[in-house]
Amino acid sequence: MDYAKLFRLDGRGAVVLGGGSGIGREAARALAAQGADVTCADRDLGAAEETARLAGDSAKAYRLDLLDTAAVERAATELGEPDVVVLTAATNVRKRLLDYSREEFDRVLSLNLGATFDVLRSFGAGMVERGRGSIVVFSSIRSITVEPGQSAYAATKAGIVQLIRTAAAEYGPSGVRVNAVAPGVVETPLTEPIKADPEWYRAYAEKSALGRWADAGELAGAVVYLASDAASFVTGSVLLVDGGWTAVDGRYVPPGA
C-alpha cells in the first residue's frame, strides 16, 4: 500500500448531496482537494454553483430536491457512476413533544430519514452492481444523547445509524462501504437560532471537552477519511466528531479536581 496516497481520491467521482452550504460545502471542497471529480447537488442551484466554484475547475453543480424520490432516482442515473456519495442535508424543528404537530414531525422525518432511505437505495444499487463505492451519511450526537425539543430530529439521526448499518451489511459482500459521521455542535445555517442566543451558544460550547463549537470545515476530514482507501476496512461505523461531547456529557468537576 502506498501510504503517501492513502487519502487521495484521484480519478474517483464524488457526489455531495446538500453541498450548497455548511458541512456539505466544506466536504465537497475537501474531496476535490484530494483529487475527486465532485458534483455539488443541492435544492438551491445557485448555492451549489458557488460550492462548485470554490471546489475548483473539475467540480460541477446539480439541482436536486431530496424530498422528490423520483428526482433522487434520476440523479443516481444522470450523475454517472460515482465512487463516493455524501449526504449532509437535514432539517430540524425544535419543539417539545406536546407542542409538535404531525405535519412538523413528518417534515423532519421526510428529509432526514426518508431522503437517506432513497439515497441508500438509488445510489447504492449502482455501487452494488459495479462492486465498489463508499457512502457517507451524516447522523448526529443526537442519535445518542438528547435534550428537550429534539424528539423528531434525534429519532431520525438514530434511525440513520440503523439504516447505514443495515446497508453496510447488505452491500458489503459487493465491496460497498456505508458509514455515518456524527457531529456535535457545528457552525452551520441550521444552528443559526442557537448562535443568536449568547447564553445558549456558550452552554453548548462548554459541553464539549474542547470547550468550543466546530467549524464546518472540521468535519471534512472525516468525510475524506471514510471516502478514501484509508478506511478500506471500515463499514457500518459511526464516526463521532463532537469535540468530546459524548465522552464528557453530564460531567461534574469535583471541588479541587
Question: Among 252, 243, 223, 246, which Cα is nearest to 7's?
Answer: 223
* Residue 153 annotated to the active site: yes
Between CA 251 and CA 254 the distance in angstroms is 10
From the list 88, 79, 74, the residue with the least C-alpha distance to 39 is 79
Residue at 146: amino acid letter:
V
CA–CA separation, 127 and 149 (whole Å): 37
Among 33, 37, 113, residue whose Cα is nearest residue 69: 113
- Cell readout for 136 is 457517507
The helix (H) or strand (E) run that includes residue 180 is strand 176-183
- In sequence order, which residues have a C-beta less than 8 Å from that of residue 191 and are 6 or more positions away? 185
Q: Which of 3, 62, 100, 153 is catalytic?
A: 153
Which of the residues are catalytic?
Answer: 153
